[in-house]
Structure 1
Amino acid sequence: MDIYSNPISGILIIKKTEGGAHRVALASDFGNKLIDFTISDTDFKVNYVVPDLDRKIVINFLKNDFRRLLKKQYPVSQAFENPQSRIYLSQSGREKYYLFFDKETEMLRQIIYTEKDREKIDFSFGAKKHIFADSIQLQHRDYKISIRLFQITETE
């Protein structure tokens, strides 16, 4: 993660729990827990946070970003196409999500989250299979915040 040019790296663990919630924990490269929270569509609970990250703005960004990232359903109201993608619009109040599916692989490639017709967050996905992303990048358009997630792979 880069938060206002301050890099934070480590291991992110996301576990689906009962009732559709997710437990999210970020540990440093050395194994120290940095933040641990439980999130669902309606609830958010911080289980632990290191003092350096215990800022309301940081917690709110993580809460909102992971709530959007872990969103399960996008009711489609419109569909579009361009030469590379099938694009679906999902709208809920002032929030709009544009979902880009690659025409060739039929996999989700990108989600653009907008508010009041302004792009706010770009979620980009790299995947080889339909069920799991190998990489995810979140880029905020209004703030100097980006999150890059990569799957841990075994090397032989």
Structure 2
Amino acid sequence: MIRFLAISLLAAVVLTSCSLKTTEGLRPVPFTQNEVENPYFSNAEIDYVYKAKIEVYGKNFGGILIIKKIAAGSHRVVFTTEFGSKLFDFQFEGDTFTKNFVVEDLDKKFIVNILKDDFKLLVNESAKVLAVFESTGNRIYKTQSEDRFNFYFFGSVNKSLQKIVNTSKTKEKIVIDFTVSGKNIAETIAIKHKNIKLTIALEKFKKE
């Protein structure tokens, strides 16, 4: 009896430690939608321009971030100072990533890889749905990205994409929060990492 209780307690601890915070309190629902879409950077006729602040391991960079869809499945992401000097220039074509330029202070392999993953997650337009969940205020689509998972949170009422959470099997890694006013354009974007000191804050550039 004691042995049985010990095994049961151990199993409970293991299951609790392996649970994913992202799906706590969510209920799985049947689905027929095969793909989920991120609409925010899908219009090739728009230059998406943001005031940007990037903080990475105690270093702060501020300026202008421009995201441009240049072809189907292809985006260019350019970060400059307010005076126009490039800080980085990336291109995404499907699964192909090109580093056109990175300023010396950011040109470290692990930092470039983090930025690559962040912006790939941000501009990726669609992904195959593995499962769907619901909560009181959201409908959540689970997708897979290599050895990780992405969860897309859509508002139940306004149907807009509110958040993307990138996870391992047991832990949240990256959270992207959006605020939206309409027309499929995000007004603000906040990218936060759970396990490293890197944050990105974007605010839609408004002409005076």
Please indicate, yes or no, whether the TM-score normalized by the shorter chain is above 0.5.
yes
Shift in Å, 1:73: 1.0
Say whether 1:94 aligns with 2:147: yes
Measure the CA separation in 2 of the matches of 1:13 and 1:134: 14
Q: Could you tell me whether the CA contact under 8 Å between 2:55 and 2:197 is conserved in 1?
A: yes
Measure the CA separation in 1 of the matches of 2:173 and 2:166: 6
Which letter maps to 1:57? F
Shift in Å, 1:41: 2.6
Measure the CA separation in 1 of the matches of 2:75 and 2:152: 22
Measure the CA separation in 2 of the matches of 1:74 and 1:109: 16
Which structure is higher in RCO with an 8 Å CA cutoff and minimum separation 6?
2
RMSD: 1.5
Higher mean Cα deviation, 12-21 or 59-68?
12-21
Q: Could you tell me whether the CA contact under 8 Å between 1:41 and 1:67 is conserved in 2?
A: no
Measure the CA separation in 1 of the matches of 2:158 and 2:77: 29
Cα shift readout 1:22-81 (whole Å, capped 9, x = no counterpart): 111100122211111211232111112222221111111111111111111122222221
Measure the CA separation in 2 of the matches of 1:40 and 1:73: 13
Measure the CA separation in 2 of the matches of 1:19 and 1:74: 14
Say whether 1:10 aligns with 2:63: yes
Residue 94 of structure 2 aligns with which residue?
Answer: 41
> Could you say what secondary structure the match of 1:62 adopts?
helix
Say whether 1:146 aligns with 2:199: yes
Residue 18 of structure 2 aligns with which residue?
Answer: none
- Equivalent pairs counted in the alignment come to 155
Measure the CA separation in 2 of the matches of 1:130 and 1:71: 18
Q: Residues 10 and 92 of structure 1: is their aligned pair in 2 closer, same or farther, counting only changes over 3 Å?
A: closer
Which consecutive segments of 4 or more residues in structure 1 shift more than 2 A?
91-94
> Could you say what secondary structure the match of 1:24 adopts?
strand
Q: Could you tell me whether the CA contact under 8 Å between 1:3 and 1:146 is conserved in 2?
A: yes
**Structure 1: runs of 5 or more not aligned:** none
Shift in Å, 1:92: 4.3
Say whether 1:77 aligns with 2:149: no
Measure the CA separation in 2 of the matches of 1:140 and 1:92: 17
Identity %, equivalent residues:
36
Instruction: Select the structure that is richer in helix.
Output: 2
Say whether 1:133 aligns with 2:192: no
Q: Could you tell me whether the CA contact under 8 Å between 1:12 and 1:24 is conserved in 2?
A: yes
Name the larger-Rg structure: 2
Q: Could you tell me whether the CA contact under 8 Å between 2:88 and 2:101 is conserved in 1?
A: yes
Measure the CA separation in 2 of the matches of 1:34 and 1:80: 39
Higher mean Cα deviation, 63-72 or 90-99?
90-99
Q: Residues 91 and 50 of structure 1: is their aligned pair in 2 closer, same or farther, counting only changes over 3 Å?
A: closer
